[in-house]
Amino acid sequence: MNIEVKPSPKMNPENEKKLQEHLREIAKILYAEADAKNLDSLAGIEKTIREQTLQYIGPQLGVFFSKKQQEQQPEESER
């Protein structure tokens, strides 16, 4: 099975800069909240990042995409 991955359009440079700034701040917060004893190995770091992503980041992205999808779907009454 071949899956073609199309490159996504380039992000607006100003938005990309803002995104990177926010990601650095998010990384600082997540690092401060991480259990330091789990950050002494690559496996521990990876596990911590995965757990934090699932707990804090993923749900927020899900809310965003859910709202976007709802905005794009026609109302039930319009069908």
How does pLDDT run across 29-70, given as a tens digit for each residue? 999 999 999 999 999 999 999 999 999 999 988 887 787 777
Domain assignment present for residue 5? The answer is no
Calpha distance 53→37 (Å, rounded): 18
What's the rounded Cα separation, in Å, for the pair 21 and 13?
A: 12
Residue carrying structure tokens 């099975």: 1
Range(s) of the domain holding residue 50: 13-71
7: confidence class by pLDDT, cuts 50, 70, 90: low
The tally of domains found in the chain comes to 1
pTM of the model: 0.65
Question: Could you tell me if residue 79 is inside a domain?
Answer: no
43 lies in some domain: yes
Whether 68 contacts 54, CB under 8 Å:
no
Q: Is residue 21 part of a domain?
A: yes
